[in-house]
Amino acid sequence: MAMEEKRKSRLYRLKPLTDRLPAVSRPEGHVHFRTKLFWLLFILVLYFVMTNVFLYGLDKTQTLDFFASLRAILAGAQGSLMHLGIGPIVTGSIIMQLFAGAKIINLDLKDDEDKSVYQGTQKLLVIIMIVVEAVPQVFGFLTPSSTFVSNLNSWSIPYLVPSGSGDNFARMFLVVQLFAGSYLVFLMDEVVSKWGIGSGISLFIAAGVAQQIFTGTFNWEPTTQGIPSGAIPKTVYYLQNLSAGQLASGGLEQAMLAPPNALVALIGTIIVFFIVSYIESTRIELPLAHGTARGARGRYPIRLLYASNIPVILIAAVLANVSMFSLLFWQHPEWPILGHNWFVGAYPSASDPRVLDGTIQQTTPIGGAAFYLSNINGVQEWLLPLLNPTRYGVYMRGHAYWQVALHLVIFTAVMVGGSIMFARFWIMTTNMGADSVAKQIQSSGMQIPGFRRDPVILKRVLERYIPVVTVLSGAAVGSLAAGADMIGTVGNASGTGVLLAVGIMIQMYEAIGREQMMEMHPVLRNWFAPA
């Protein structure tokens, strides 16, 4: 029967190809804690190195950083080998989850061979998504250096670089570098998950967000106005250089509320940290007892954030791709229907006064669907224009206040609704549903006291909690991310980035604790890591 099911899936035809893709082999035995910690730190250092290795042949002065507001979530760095970040990996995961959740692909993820096909297909899909995201980036937003192009034209290598084709070759060379960097990130994620602790994707997100928060809080480098850009140095500067009258007439408002890195953003970041820490510890614990060993008892925790922070990562990746392609359509009016279509998304020109004075960027949507689905970056985009239209009205991007309010409602609804949807898909595809958990508890020899030792009955008990908690989990992380975006964060880390970083650090701390416990008590490995 199992072989009959496998033949129904056409993905098995890709197995000869996916088996030949470069991959990181799994350890054959137990990996010691110190070895795992070494690989974790090594990959972390390698990640920071890659964020500082810039693409060869790129003109940094004419490069549009489309992902500027999403850098924390996508764990990338503009113009570097990490320019695409984890975007292709997350997008490929989303597509596979949607197909698996909708039963479009007929694979049983509990079966080892089917799971291997699923993972191999996802790896192939990630490669495709790297190309799909790299090509529009290079031909739409990344400009090769004129010196590099002229050198290629002067070389004119026959059959390799024909005369006059230096620009196209330079762009293809940028695509190759982006492909190499992104696939290396994919392999680094495999190293962490197989030889390290936790997830590589989560590690990169937490590292990028921590760097942005630290820089946004303590950066003493001055802005164009000569004022330090970091939240704390800027506040100290105002207190030292302004009189009491100047502080009362607007200086204190500038320190507390005005971008960049306003003091209220630092306070909001700290508040989000404590809220997420509290919610992460909120859980329902089902009592368990061993079926044969009398006195052996335990608990199965169902956390409020049952689906973790994965749903926010997925919905953020979807919104990033929507915005990227809307900007690409806007820059190509020759394309039919979608080209330069205001309803899809409108963007300012390079000569726009708001772009010239640094208020907004060319990648900031000012109209259409892209505007209503774009991130909200602090109180200056919705609250401050209402309190002081003269000083902060420019942040409304020329919209009426009802349009700003509609932006708030749509963005929040998409974040919450999308997080709930992806939370349900994530639970279904990662063996965290009621049926899978019931079988795991049953196989461990445990049962709920007062109930017959039957997986069907155990499943019914779990169905009272897991589906409800899954929806609450998605709604909670979506609401927290949207709310933090509305308050603002230091370093432009975004509310979603702070939410993810805090959750990831707490989970990493718990994972390190489990690893140390298994190192001291090897018997516990069968419970925490049965594979």
Reported as a single tens digit per residue, the pLDDT across 104-156 is: 777 776 677 887 888 888 889 999 999 988 888 888 778 888 888 887 777 65
Residue pair 434/464 in contact (Cβ under 8 Å)? The answer is no
β-bridge mates for residue 446, sequence order: 290
- % of the chain at pLDDT higher than 70: 89
Q: How far apart are CA 516 and CA 522, in angstroms?
A: 10
- Calpha distance 171→145 (Å, rounded): 10
Domain 1-10+33-196 in this protein, CATH class = mainly alpha
43-52, 63-72, 453-462 — which one is most confidently predicted on average? Answer: 43-52
pLDDT above 70 for 353: yes
pLDDT above 80 (res 331): yes
CB 54: neighbour CB atoms within 10 A?
15
- Mean pLDDT of the 353-380 span: 83
User: What is the overall mean pLDDT for the chain?
Assistant: 82
Q: Are 339 and 329 in contact (CB under 8 A)?
A: yes
CATH for 264-521 (3.30.565.10, 1.10.3370.10, 1.10.645.10, 2.40.30.170): 1.10.3370.10
Same fold, 1-10+33-196 and 264-521: yes
Report, as an integer, the average pLDDT of 464-493. 88
Nearest to 501 by CA among 263, 476, 509, 469: 509
CA distances from 12 to 5, 104, 176, 411, 444 (A): 11, 14, 29, 40, 32
Q: How many helices (H) and strands (E) does the chain have?
A: 24, 3
When pLDDT is averaged across residues 479-504 and rounded to a whole number, the result is 84
pLDDT at res. 523: 53
Cβ contact 414:373 at 8 Å: yes
Three-class secondary structure of residue 284 per DSSP:
strand
User: Is 387 strand, coil or helix?
Assistant: helix
DSSP string, 77-104: -TTBTTSSTTHHHHHHHHHHHHHHHTT-
What is the share, in percent, of the chain residues with pLDDT greater than 90? 15
Task: For residue 287, list its beta bridge partners.
Answer: 299
Q: What is the pLDDT of residue 1?
A: 40
CA–CA separation, 394 vs 384, rounded Å? 10
pLDDT band for 6, please (50, 70, 90 cuts). very low
HSE-up of residue 432 (Cα within 13 Å, Cβ side): 19
The pLDDT value given to residue 530? 42
Mean pLDDT computed over 357-385: 84
Q: Is 337 left (phi over 0), alpha (psi -120 to 50) or beta?
A: left
Q: Chain centroid to CA 185: how far?
A: 14
172-176, 299-303, 399-403, range with the lowest pLDDT? 299-303
Residue the block writes with tokens 């933090």: 484
State residue 489's pLDDT score. Answer: 84
Sheet with 283-290: list strands edge to edge.
297-303, 283-290, 446-447
Rounded-to-integer distance, Cα 517 and Cα 424, Å:
31
Of residues 394, 345, 269, 311, the one with CA closest to residue 94? 311
Q: How many CB atoms lie within 10 A of CB 520?
A: 9
Segment 498-522 shows an average pLDDT of 79
The rounded radius of gyration (Å) of the Cα atoms in the chain is: 25
> DSSP per residue over 239-251, as a string?
HHHS-HHHIIIII
**Token code pair at residue 141:** 């937003």
Q: What is the pLDDT of residue 174?
A: 92
Question: Tokens 């196209």 belong to which residue?
Answer: 168
Q: Where are the domains of the chain?
A: 1-10+33-196, 264-521
User: Which has more pLDDT, 175 or 98?
Assistant: 175
Q: What is the pLDDT of residue 5?
A: 42
Query: Per-residue pLDDT averaged across 479-490, rounded?
Result: 86
The per-residue pLDDT for range 452-465, each reduced to its tens digit, is 777 788 888 888 88
Q: Could you give the CA distance from residue 165 to residue 157 in angstroms, rounded to a whole number?
A: 10
Highest mean pLDDT among 368-372, 440-444, 523-527: 368-372
Are 492 and 377 in contact by the 8 Å Cβ rule? The answer is yes
Task: Give me the pLDDT at residue 4, please.
Answer: 45
Q: Residue 515: helix, strand or coil by DSSP?
A: helix
